[in-house]
């Protein structure tokens, strides 16, 4: 339902989404509140019993995932930002493909046990393709170790952790909270101190503030996909991750 170029924290519902939800046998989301802006409302409106949370037709890919940046229990009710359950951008972790595929295999098999053998075979094919891709990624990722970036939104934490990239600051002071002039000045100061030459943004977050901090700090803005379809040539998850690895190596380690 959400397009890859959209801010997933702020997706607006369309009538066509409701039609699709009423017809669905299975609904798949990342979870960790990533789709909180639109999924709970449309699930309720669709009145489709097959895809109710808790039933096999509702597949949450983050089930069992260990989130990072989890706020203390006491803060969660306040919902100070759009990441109340920890960082939900797990789809950018290089290990996420395997993790998602496993959840989807389990979910589909529970919905249609008679087809389990077929699902297992398809899962096996996908995992073999992932294994080849993961080799490409680990070679590229090794070149990113210790590189410093600033991101607009706090969306690269899993990717950065995988390769030892240092995210020294975010343009947004909190996820989903626009920066004030003071926040921008602070980010510019940190970028100059740390010698950061790249601000990562998505298509939706390549805005005035992003370009302002980059310009003032003598850095450049690099647009990356945060979801499948986030930029062209990224129509599959593996394709998106290929693009992300290549783009970051070009931006941060072209000479290596
Ligand atoms: Zn977010």
CA distance linking residue 256 with residue 253, whole number of Å? 6
Q: How far is the CA of 114 from the centre of ligand 1 (A)?
A: 37
Instruction: Return the pLDDT at 210.
Output: 98
Q: How far is the CA of 235 from the centre of ligand 1 (A)?
A: 21
- Which residues neighbour 192 within 8 Å (Cβ) at sequence distance 6 or greater? 217, 218
Q: How far is the CA of 256 from the centre of ligand 1 (A)?
A: 31
Of 202, 197, 169, the C-alpha closest to 254 is 197
Instruction: Return the pLDDT at 74.
Output: 60
Mean pLDDT of the chain: 94
pTM (predicted TM-score): 0.94
- Contact, 151 vs 214, CB < 8 A? no
Q: How far is the CA of 121 from the centre of ligand 1 (A)?
A: 34
Instruction: Return the pLDDT at 202.
Output: 95
Instruction: Return the pLDDT at 24.
Output: 97
Distances in Å between the alpha carbon of 133 and those of 94, 237, 239? 10, 11, 9
CA distance linking residue 195 with residue 219, whole number of Å? 9
Instruction: Return the pLDDT at 134.
Output: 97
Q: How far is the CA of 112 from the centre of ligand 1 (A)?
A: 33
- Successive 10-residue mean pLDDT values, the chain, 256 residues: 92 90 96 93 94 95 95 66 93 97 98 98 98 98 98 98 98 96 98 98 96 98 94 92 97 88
DSSP designation for 74: H
Of 64, 129, 136, the C-alpha closest to 99 is 64
- Contact, 37 vs 7, CB < 8 A? no
Q: How far is the CA of 214 from the centre of ligand 1 (A)?
A: 21
Q: How far is the CA of 87 from the centre of ligand 1 (A)?
A: 7
- Contact, 243 vs 231, CB < 8 A? yes
- Could you read off the pLDDT of 49-88 as tens digits, one per residue? 999 999 999 999 999 999 999 988 766 555 568 999 999 9
| Ordered structural domains, the chain, with CATH | 8-122 (no CATH), 140-252 (3.40.50.1980)
Residues 151, 156, 159, 160, CA torsion sign? positive
């Amino acid at each position: 339902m959400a397009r890859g170029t959209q801010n997933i924290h702020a997706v607006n519902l369309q009538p066509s989404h409701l039609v699709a939800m009423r017809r669905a046998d299975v609904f798949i989301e990342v979870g960790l509140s990533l789709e909180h802006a639109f999924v709970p409302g449309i699930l309720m409106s669709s009145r489709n019993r097959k895809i109710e949370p808790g039933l096999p037709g509702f597949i949450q890919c983050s089930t069992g995932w260990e989130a990072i940046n989890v706020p203390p229990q006491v803060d969660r009710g306040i919902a100070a930002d759009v990441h109340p359950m920890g960082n939900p951008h797990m789809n950018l972790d290089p290990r996420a493909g395997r993790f998602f595929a496993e959840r989807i295999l389990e979910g589909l098999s529970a919905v249609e046990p008679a087809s389990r053998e077929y699902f297992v075979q398809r899962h096996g094919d996908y995992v073999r393709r992932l294994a080849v891709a993961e080799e490409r990624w680990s070679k590229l990722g090794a070149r990113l170790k210790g590189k410093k970036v600033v991101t607009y939104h706090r969306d690269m934490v899993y990717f950065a952790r995988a390769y030892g990239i240092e995210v020294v600051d975010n343009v947004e002071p909190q996820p989903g909270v626009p920066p004030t002039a003071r926040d921008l000045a602070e980010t510019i100061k940190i970028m100059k101190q740390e010698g950061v030459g790249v601000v990562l943004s998505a298509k939706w977050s390549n805005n005035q503030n992003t370009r302002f901090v980059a310009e003032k700090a003598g850095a450049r803005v690099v647009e990356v996909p945060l979801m499948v379809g986030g930029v062209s040539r990224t129509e599959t998850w593996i394709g998106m991750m290929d693009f992300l690895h290549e783009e970051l190596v070009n931006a941060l380690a072209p000479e290596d």
